[in-house]
Structure 1
Amino acid sequence: MSKTETIAFISTRGKTPSVSFLEAMERGLAPDGGLFMPDRWPHLSDSLWKNIHGKSLQEIGLQLSRTFIPEVAARELQPLVEDALSFEAPLVHLHDNRYILELFHGPTLAFKDFGARFMARMMSYQARRKGEQMVILVATSGDTGSAVGQAFEGVEGVDVCLLYPSGKVSKLQEQQLTTIGGNVTALEVDGTFDDCQKMVKEAFLDEELREDITLSSANSINIARLLPQMFYYASALAQIEDNRPVHFCVPSGNFGNLTAGMMAGKTGMPAGQFVAGTNVNDVVPAFLEKGNFVPKSSRTTISSAMDVGNPSNLERIRALYPEMATLKQHLWAASFDDGRTRDAIREVYSDYDYLLDPHTAVGYLAARQYKDERKEDRAPVIILSTAHPAKFGDIIEPVIGHSVAMPDRLAASLDQEKKSIGMEAEYQALEVFLREHYGS
């Protein structure tokens, strides 16, 4: 890409005019129902990837932000990026050629903090610039809700509604997302995560509602969530001494985290294979095996944030690699049930004195199976660890036979009063709520 070309954002369905990053962020979902993606991929091999070793997360974040958000001046971007990325993503050597990228050192101890904090600052910037009040809609299967809620807590010009499936998130996750209050409202939906996600998508496609209320999304359908998730892939490479292309293994539910890595790959990041680990909600492994995508109702597992039967970001992945043969050269996936997930937690703790949460355990299993099938492949594998194990103490403690130490900021949420509003799993119920609370 030449220096005179500016990146714009287009819909995966190709029926929407291109827009700026800020416009794509504000809309969340494209008017034609597609997801926003860059209209071109800058070649960053010389400017970033060849000199990645030793760069800080903040330096990487600023460089990629300046590339994809040219409409915001660098002097305005820098404090936003540095404030959002106020914690690190350390790379830990587990054993042999396996590494863990710990993405749970943010305020809510989950990888969603990266995207949520970056988006909150960009949304606040946009709200101040336009002088409007925004309403953020978020469907969550657990960690997204608390990360977004805390990132937006008290942010001027923005209200947040968190839709979560009743009885299908952990007690700790529910406490985190229902005790924020203020400008953050928790909507407890009598359904599944897929129901919550469907309701949010319908709201964005309701043009009459959007004429009355300025809506945006903080789910991974929003491109502003995916851009900061590219940062830590680069940070992992900055920390590893091996100069060979590495494989990235990603526990996957809605597939936004993995999509961000693939987007980084399009800019020249020296990645080998992207490996997706799923639980029994195996629609993507089945798609790669059979060639046709068949969504299913989600099934409840101990890796609850991955209980997704119709992952939104598969649409982005298919836009990146429209030909199945090419996609399979870049993406490999496998699924694992709860029994094997528990076995992996027990094994890694016993053998390496390292505690995995249930989601990261699925990633570990996928990495192991991938390498077992390719014994001649000596390239390192970086497993993205998505949540602190203490968030799933009720699952992990019976497996390892003793308690898991809980960080103070998690323990504090358990003593707070739950505040949620019950809602049927129907779009009409959400529309009525939004008009009553935020309509003009």
Structure 2
Amino acid sequence: MKYYSTNRQSPELSFKEAVIKGLPLDKGLFFPERVPELPPSFFEALPDMELPELAFQVLKEFTAPDIAADQLRAICNEVFTFPIPLVKVEKGIYSLELFHGPTCAFKDVGARFMSRCLQAFATKGKPVTVLVATSGDTGSAVANGFLGVENIEVVILYPKGGVSEIQEMQFTTLGQNIRAVAVEGTFDDCQSLVKQAFSDPELAKEMQLSSANSINVARWLPQMVYYFYAWGQWKKLEHTRPAEELTISVPSGNFGNLAAGLIARKMGLPITYFIAATNRNKVVPDYLESGVYSPVPSVATIANAMDVGSPNNFPRIQEMFGNNLEAIQQVVKGFWADDEEVKAAIKETEAKDDYVLDPHGAIAYLALKKYLPALHTTGIFLETAHPAKFKQSIDEILGGDIALPEQLQAFLNRPKQSASIKNDFTMLSDLLKEQNKVNA
């Protein structure tokens, strides 16, 4: 499989080259030259398929020939091991719980898959520096997925004061090959610094940079697996008839997860609608309504992982639909909610259904409540992080003391190790060069 840039000003690269490079030189995003369509026999077998085998079948054409079939099977058997329960919340609405990995967030799978790919590709004697921007869960998943991986150094940029305390502890207390850097700015500023680093010729000459944000194809593509698994479990639980339709509501910040679901649909997965559910950073819902795509500075909300004013992955969604707004609107519905609506949903669902939502899942749940009566389908919303990752907010909303799962307790009372820089590319460049000399 070859990968081209959505800006079409860079040469096509292999999977290996695209993973190591992270971003094309023309500042586009890598996209597969073709999207393979899966046969009917795959969907017939899907409800009873084990998760690692499902992942292998879905990903094999995207990674060939750089990753041999037996190697990909081994990676899938190692990575796709976390439970993904499909929980009935109320009539016609299910939650797909993607937070049962080591950092209690859906990004654990993608980060681990990418780390195993990079580990296989890393050139001996020349370390790969993985540079990543995070608004919360990406940092913790990448840090824990790459921790201790030989020949790979990780630098995590995060907005100072812009992530939850638990999220921060998950990537600032590890040490070893993980370095956290607080940026005096927003997540968008962190993301912009990462993009500048990848387009800087001096850094490209001195070091081997890669990214572990969902802009990297090895982080992005594994997320497709969730959607195939959700559909299969829904069929298995409900014994649904072939004609029954499904809507999936996706909490959306950088839009990598939604883009992964849409590429799964392109492969033949019969999901009728997707909902791009977000907070006050509603660039995409506004675009779907007005036809004008206008990124703006992000604003802080209770659902901090979605505080993104310029979504990195949205060009991939446009690419899948040939930049045709009407075609996107037929499949993707937009929704946004403010903090007060989120708090009310968390309270109501806990009281009515004895189910505790996190702020991001709450927005996706609200989106289903709005759209399902008109769409006439069953709905699944993605619960992308454990509510205890946002303990302070959840405790205030519910007036309680939510228990921390064992995975989160492990990060408590550890000393933080974090550098700090201004929103200044020269400062980041100097930091990266200094680290490269230390690791040379």
> Which interval holds the TM-score relative to the shorter structure?
over 0.9
SS of 1:305 mapped into structure 2: helix
Residue 110 of structure 1 aligns with an amino acid whose one-letter code is: A
Aligned residue for 2:13, secondary structure, equals: coil
* 1:45 Cα deviation after fit: 3.5
CA distance in structure 2 between the partners assigned to 1:73 and 1:51 by the alignment: 24
1:429 equivalent in structure 2: 427
Paired amino acid for 2:72: L
> Match of 1:411, as an amino acid?
Q
**1:311-368 Cα shifts (integer Å, max 9, x gaps):** 0111111111111110101111111000000000001111100010001001111111
**C-alpha separation in 2, matches of 1:432 and 1:182:** 20
Q: TM-score normalized by structure 1?
A: 0.96
Residues 1:92 and 2:93 are matched in the alignment: no
Inter-partner Cα distance in structure 1 for 2:125 and 2:272: 45
Separation in 2 of the partners of 1:9 and 1:168? 34
* Change beyond 3 A, Cα 1:45–1:380: farther
Match of 1:114 in 2: 109
CA distance in 2 between partners of 1:397 and 1:437 (Å): 40
For each residue in 1:116-170, what CA deviation from the matched residue of structure 2 results, as whole angstroms up to 9, or x when unmatched?
A: 0111111111115x65310000000001001000110000110000000000101
1:131 and 1:382, CA in 2 relative to 1: closer, same or farther beyond 3 A?
Answer: farther
SS at the partner of 2:263? helix
TM-score by length of 2: 0.96
Q: Hey, what's the Cα distance between the residues in 1 that align with 2:270 and 2:251?
A: 20
Matches of 2:403 and 2:433, distance apart in 1? 43
Distance in 2 (alpha carbons) for counterparts of 1:48 and 1:204: 39
Work out whether residues 183 and 420 of structure 2, in 8 Å CA contact, stay in contact via their aligned partners in 1: yes
Q: Secondary structure at the match of 2:116?
A: helix
The counterpart of 1:79, out of the listed 74, 80, 99, is: 74
- Answer yes or no: is the 8 Å Cα contact 1:26–1:123 preserved in 2: yes
Using the alignment, how far apart are the partners of 1:50 and 1:432 within structure 2? 54
C-alpha displacement of 1:49? 2.7
Q: Could you tell me which amino acid in structure 2 is paired with residue 280 of structure 1?
A: R
Q: 1:223 aligns with which of 202, 206, 217?
A: 217
Q: Is contact 1:274–1:330 with CA below 8 Å preserved after alignment?
A: yes
Amino acid at match of 1:14: R
Q: Select which of 96, 103, 127 maps to 1:101.
A: 96
1:46 is displaced (CA, Å) by: 2.4
Contact 2:60/2:72 (CA < 8 Å) preserved in 1?
yes
Alignment of structure 1 residues 242-257 onto 2, 5 Å: 242=240, 243=242, 244-257=244-257
For structure 1, list consecutive stretches of 5 or more residues without a partner in the other structure. Answer: 1-6
State the match for 1:44 in structure 2.
38
User: Are 2:56 and 1:62 equivalent residues in the alignment?
Assistant: yes
Q: Which moved more, 1:301-310 or 1:71-80?
A: 71-80
Q: What percent of counterpart residues are identical?
A: 45
CA contact (8 A) 1:97 1:378 kept: no
Matching residue of 1:309: 309
Answer with 77-86 or 277-286: which moved more: 77-86
Taking the aligned partners of 2:20 and 2:155, their CA distance within structure 1 comes to 15
Per the TM alignment, residue 268 of structure 1 is displaced from its structure 2 partner at its CA by 0.8
Q: Match for residue 233 of structure 1?
A: 227
Deviations 1:394-428 (A, max 9, x none): 11112222111111221221210011000111111
- The residue aligned with 1:408 is 406
Is 1:329 paired with 2:330? yes
What is the identity, as a one-letter code, of the residue corresponding to 1:104? Answer: F
Q: Distance in 2 between matches of 1:101 and 1:215?
A: 34
- 2:350 aligns with 349
What displacement does 1:74 show?
1.0
Gaps of 5+ in 2: none
Residue 397 of structure 2, aligned match among 396, 399, 403: 399
Encode CA deviations 1:47-100: one digit per residue, 9 max, x unaligned.
523431111211111112212111111111111111111212111111111110
1:211 alignment counterpart: 205
Give 2:150's match in structure 1, choosing from 145, 156, 171. 156
Equivalent position to 1:34, from 13, 28, 53: 28
- Contact map agreement 2:53 2:76 (CA 8 A) in 1: no
Partner residue of 1:187? 181
- Offset at 1:264? 0.7
- Partner of 1:414, secondary structure, is coil
Segments of 4+ in structure 1 off by > 3 A? none
Classify the secondary structure of the residue corresponding to 1:265: helix
On the 8 A contact 1:57/1:88 being kept in 2, the answer is: no
Q: CA distance change for structure 1 residues 393 and 359 in 2, over 3 Å: closer, same or farther?
A: same
Partner of 1:33: helix, strand, or coil? Answer: coil
Distance between the aligned counterparts of 1:114 and 1:57, measured in 2? Answer: 12
CA contact (8 A) 2:136 2:164 kept: yes
CA distance in 1, matches of 2:92, 2:61: 32
- Of the structure 1 ranges 44-53 and 258-267, higher mean CA displacement relative to structure 2 is found in 44-53
CA RMSD of aligned residues (A): 1.2
> Which amino acid letter does the alignment assign opposite residue 356 of structure 2?
L
